[in-house]
Structure 1
Amino acid sequence: MVRGLPLGGRAAAAARWCTCRSAAVAVCLGNLVAALLVARALYPPGYMASAPKSGEVKYSKEQMRWVEESIRIRRAAEPVELIEAVKKLRKVFAREAKRRKELPLELKQKVSYEILQKLRDLGEDRNSTEQREAVESWRIEKLEDIRRSSAQNSSNLGLSNEESRILKRTLEFNWRLLLEDIGLWIPPSVSHIEHDDKPENAPEEEEIIPGPPLPPECNAEVHTDYGGAAVRWGLTHHKESAADCCQACIDQAKRAKPGALKCNIWVYCPSEYGCYSPDKYEHKHQECWLKQADHPKLNFKDRYSESYRDSHPTAPVVVPWMSGVISA
């Protein structure tokens, strides 16, 4: 009896544990059935099967129509002609790059040396037109030498047959690219032609004279240089304006003593850069020369002649001085 008590206690405990587990399982199954019933009541049949997968976006028909319209508008706005032009340019650039690589570096150096020697023989005092002609004549001569060697089945140029073939094709079709590769650039000569499209008998534009207006008795003439005996040297006699120079001539004539030279010609330098004169002096801005001549004569008027400028290389085209003969 004493030994039977513990066995009976363990059996009772095991029976109680099985009863609790069964109860827990029953509760879980009840909860699952309830959840399924609730889900069926909330969602229509087939919803779970048609639900989008994770990461997918489901669009409505209206949204799909907007996307298709946007794609159509974008394609219609594409610059088709520009895209085709870019494709063609890429092909051209690719061909040019391929042609450039065909000429070996050693051959480019040989060509560069020969052209440089041709220019040295021409002389440094040649203009750009003569230099371009010399380089072009070298190209023509080199092509003739290559053709002659090919016809005679010989090579007198120190080049292999393959190098001669590559150089011939380059000189004929890729000459400009070759000049770029060897770094040779000769500036183009610019010929300036001045066209006089001014209508006939059109009035000349009046040149603006700096300073106050000149009185009528000054008889101012722009781009004019009168000769005469110097009453006052302009190298040390400067005036602010042509009007002041003319007035200085008038005042000198009034104050001159009997028997002294009286100014009746004034010559003024209005240019800020000075005025040209064939003498040995450097004539600067605002020089005012006072002169006297019974019969005033012009030294220069408007422009220096071509023959004069040929014999005087430093002479400008236009006479820079302005002068006047004082009226009595």
Structure 2
Amino acid sequence: MARGEVEWVRGLKWFSYKKVFVAFCCVNVFLSISLLRSLYSSSSASSSSNTGQRSTPDSLYTEDQIKRVEESIRIRQALEPVELVRLAKKLKKELKIGKKGSKLSKSVNQKSAFEILSRLKALGSSVNFTEQREVVELWRVQKIEEIKRLSVADSTKPSILSKETKKLKIALELHWQKFLEGIGFWLPSDVNNTVVDDKPDTAYELEEEIIPGRSMPPECHTELHTDYAGAAVRWGLTHHTESAADCCQACLDQAKSAKLGDMKCNIWVYCPSESGCYSPDIYEHKHQECWLKQDEKPRLTFKDKYSDSYRSSHPTAPVVVPWMSGVISR
């Protein structure tokens, strides 16, 4: 009897612990669900409140404030320099094209050089440097006007102008000096860098050089480390001679055989350096290049050394002028 009571008590204890555990779990689940519902309800209420504020700005601003804001927007739009912004964007685009794709093709450069040379030939041999510059400048202005007329005449066809024509217009308007250098025309300004004596006390001394090839005739008036300006009678890019004496002789021969009204060579410029000769244009000037030029009043572009000021603006320029030149008649 006593043993049966003990077993009954043990069963009762086990049953009570189980019920308490189950009840405790149920309470936890109920509390968790209640907490989640409460969080969801508060989040929905906050979202609804914010949505209502955005959709109804009248609740935040008075009617007078809204009118002032609208009037301010209208005034700003009316004062916006639309045309100025458009022109600025156009100029920025042209400058970008000028930097990235302003390099003209060889055919365009040669055609431009031929047109300028033809005008210079028409002047005869008695014109001075100032007149030559005026003729070249007049060609530039007329060329720009010609391109503009083509553009206006075919305004319904924006693509009528080729890419090369557009680049030529930009080069003539924004990169004129660089364009002249690119086609081989060196027209120095009135201020010559050789006038300024900015050599330091320890100036680089030019070494005496032996001119390769046969001896130079006295009528060549040879000058080492010298580059003269002038209108190109014959391009050195396609005219090479075995020696400086041959280059000078080519100039003498051209002057003798030139017909009436043609430009006569009176300046020769030769590249004696086997590694080529520096020039500020876009071309690579190689050994034995021979330029035949004409100028009523020959002017130096560079003599002996490039000045410090010039080399600071042209980092690739060497110390010594690599060209050699001569004026056969003045």
Per the normalisation by structure 2, the TM-score is 0.38
> Between Structure 1 and Structure 2, whose CA radius of gyration is higher?
1
Higher fraction of helix = 2
Per the normalisation by structure 1, the TM-score is 0.38
* Structure with bigger RCO (C-alpha 8 Å, 6+ apart): 2
